[in-house]
Amino acid sequence: MKRLFLTLAVIATATIFHGCQGDDGAPGPQGPAGPNSVVFEILQQDFVNSAEGYRIYGTFTNEIGGDLFDAETVLVYRLSGTIDAQTPIWQLIPRTIYLDTGEEVDYDYDFSVEDFAIYCRGTNLSASPEFLNDQTFRVVVIPGSFTNKNANRVDYNDYNAVIKAYGIDDSDVRTLLPQTKS
């Protein structure tokens, strides 16, 4: 009885695997384009003093034609200087800068699917207007499908590593115009 059962099991298995042959069929139609990573730049912007403190505020609506998707990630980098005319130095925020005077300046940001805000706070910002005026930022939007499936850890502190890891072409940076009202 055991031998008969074993023989039938082997025959059934061979029949199942033998039946999995045949043509693959014609390729299906091209699917819709997936979400793309994008880089925006906020150029030489002054922080506006509002009820929430000094901030730069805006939406993504005009630049991407609507709101962000729920799973998208937004990273914000501040231009802290340059090595030469072609090599900017980008610092990921949030960031705290400790000044020689003992004061500190804090940059932070938040975002939702509809808007974003970049904040500047500090112990004595009126004494350091260079941290409030003429600031440039890069805003990197990464689709959630990329951030969830990336097998290699990306150093988000390194702007160039992020651009490379997500295959972003930052030669075509779009300008992001913030709101001017507080």
Let me know if residue 114 belongs to a domain. Answer: yes
Let me know if residue 136 belongs to a domain. Answer: yes
Instruction: Confirm whether pTM is higher than 0.85.
Output: no
Let me know if residue 180 belongs to a domain. Answer: no
Let me know if residue 70 belongs to a domain. Answer: yes
For the chain, helix, strand, coil in percent to 5 are 20, 35, 40
Let me know if residue 41 belongs to a domain. Answer: no
Give the pLDDT of the chain (182 residues) as one tens digit per residue: 667 666 666 666 666 655 556 676 777 776 555 557 889 999 999 999 988 889 999 887 776 666 677 777 899 999 999 999 889 999 999 999 999 999 999 999 999 888 899 999 999 888 889 999 999 999 998 887 655 555 578 899 999 999 999 888 888 888 888 876 55
Domain count across the chain = 1
Let me know if residue 111 belongs to a domain. Answer: yes
Q: In terms of residue numbers, what domain contains 56?
A: 47-175
Let me know if residue 7 belongs to a domain. Answer: no
CB 175 within 8 A of CB 39: no
Let me know if residue 9 belongs to a domain. Answer: no
How many residues are given for the chain? 182
Copy the structure tokens of residue 162. Answer: 């992020």
State whether the Cα torsion 158-164-166-168 is positive or negative. Answer: positive
Copy the structure tokens of residue 163. Answer: 């651009």
